[in-house]
Amino acid sequence: MIITVQKPLPEILDSLKDYDNVFIVGCAACATKCQTGGEEAVKKISEELKKAGKKVSGSAVLDTPCDIRVAKRDLKNVSAGVFLILGCGAGVQSVEKVTSAPLVPALDPVFTGTVERIGIYHEYCALCGSCMLAGTGGICPITRCAKSLINGPCGGAVNGKCEADPDSDCAWALILEKTKGKGILKDYMPPRSFIKPKNIGRHKKTTL
């Protein structure tokens, strides 16, 4: 799930300073679960914009605004001076495909998260493009080790706690405990290739 936080209201208002007739687009998926883009969040920011003197022409909470088909279906007949998007960057750029109106993001995406419960999220996946969890008992050393060590522990852990962050468990202590007696770590893991591109900084259309 894409974890998002709302931008500070002054920043949002500054981005909207040259526009009126604001249409707010929310997200019924990730942003709703984060309580940053659902019905309540849309209602709250609408009230804040009106207090600031902005005209809000309407709003819609899309099932998945990051799906161009959904954005096209739900927004094709909407006329607005500017769209304020309560969703991640993928949602903003999906809406960009279906309107020529200016777009303003209201949220900042911070990481891909695993949900423990509402309000508590764990950054367990770095979207590295080369998943190694089969060899580590389902625990990712890239995100859960403070040093992102992939070939074993650093040796600095104390009582199973990370030397860099004593409040956190040592990822490799967790891996060793999870895989104990299963023979997983006895298997040879070839050196990890860091040549594999992550496609950061350029657009790529991917067909799965």
Per-residue pLDDT of the chain (208 residues; tens, 9 = 90+): 999 999 999 999 999 999 989 999 999 999 999 999 999 999 999 999 999 999 999 999 999 999 999 999 999 999 999 999 999 999 999 999 999 999 999 999 999 999 898 889 999 999 888 888 988 999 999 999 999 998 889 999 999 999 999 999 999 999 999 988 787 777 767 777 666 555 555 555 444 4
Does 178 reside within a domain?
Answer: yes
Residue 20 tokens read as: 């009126």
Same domain, 62 and 153: no
Q: Are residues 8 and 102 in the same domain?
A: yes
Strand 120-122, strand 114-117: pairing: antiparallel
> Does 87 share its domain with 22?
yes
Nearest to 75 by CA among 52, 93, 99: 99
C-alpha pair distances (Å), 9 with each of 27, 58, 105, 106, 146: 18, 19, 12, 8, 33
Is residue 175 within 8 Å of 136, Cβ to Cβ?
yes
Are residues 99 and 142 located together in one domain of the fold? no
Element (H, E) at 51: helix 39-51
Would 104 be classed as within a structural domain? yes
Does residue 122 belong to any structural domain of this protein?
Answer: no
State which residues form the domain around 9: 2-111
Same-domain pairing of 103 and 159: no
Q: Which residue type is seen at 141?
A: P
* Token duo for residue 195: 């040549």
Are 99 and 139 members of one domain?
Answer: no
CB 66 within 8 A of CB 32: no
Q: How many domains does the chain have?
A: 2
Please check whether residue 139 lies inside any domain of the structure.
yes
Are 6 and 116 in contact, with CB atoms under 8 Å apart? no
Residue pair 55/24 in contact (Cβ under 8 Å)? The answer is: no
* Residue 118 covered by a domain: no
178 and 139, same structural domain?
yes
Tell whether 181 and 82 lie within a shared domain: no
- Same-domain pairing of 102 and 134: no
For the chain, first and last CA: distance in Å?
A: 19
Residues 155 and 57 in one domain: no
> Is the domain of 93 the same as that of 163?
no
Check whether residue 57 and residue 103 sit in a common domain. yes
The answer to whether the beta carbons of residues 130 and 121 sit under 8 Å apart is: no
Q: Is 19 exposed, middle or buried (0-12, 13-18, 19+ CB in 10 A)?
A: middle
